[in-house]
Amino acid sequence: MPCYRVAMPNGGFALVKGKLGPHCSCGGVTTRLCDYPVGKGKTCDRKLCERCGHHVGPDKDLCLEHYKMRGLPITGIWLDEMAQADLFGDVNA
């Protein structure tokens, strides 16, 4: 049976057994995919948990590698509409 690393509100983590879905690279439960465009209409799609994903806009998340590639601070930032349009194309489509 799969084992997952689940973040706790106090900053710690718990190991949980069960079928909770795909694993993030850290062992956590995947809750999102990296939305960084890689060309030809495709995105990175790296599996991310709540802790590893960087939420940068409505339904837009980046893995750490692509977050750093954009030169964003590790502390987390919500991209304004112009920055989102630059990265993802028309965000209102």
Any domain includes 27:
yes
Number of domains in the chain: 1
pLDDT value of position 84: 66
Residue showing tokens 């790296």: 46
Any domain includes 4:
no
Any domain includes 6:
no
pLDDT value of position 93: 46
The whole-angstrom distance between residue 69's C-alpha and the CA centroid of its chain comes to: 14
pLDDT value of position 58: 86
Any domain includes 83:
yes
Each residue's pLDDT tens digit, 23-57: 888 888 899 999 999 999 999 999 998 888 888 88
Under 8 Å between Cβ of 17 and 3: yes
Any domain includes 15:
no
Neighbours of 66 (CB within 10 A): 21
User: Domain span at residue 53?
Assistant: 20-88
Please give the residue that has the higher pLDDT: either 63 or 2: 63
pLDDT value of position 45: 96
Any domain includes 38:
yes
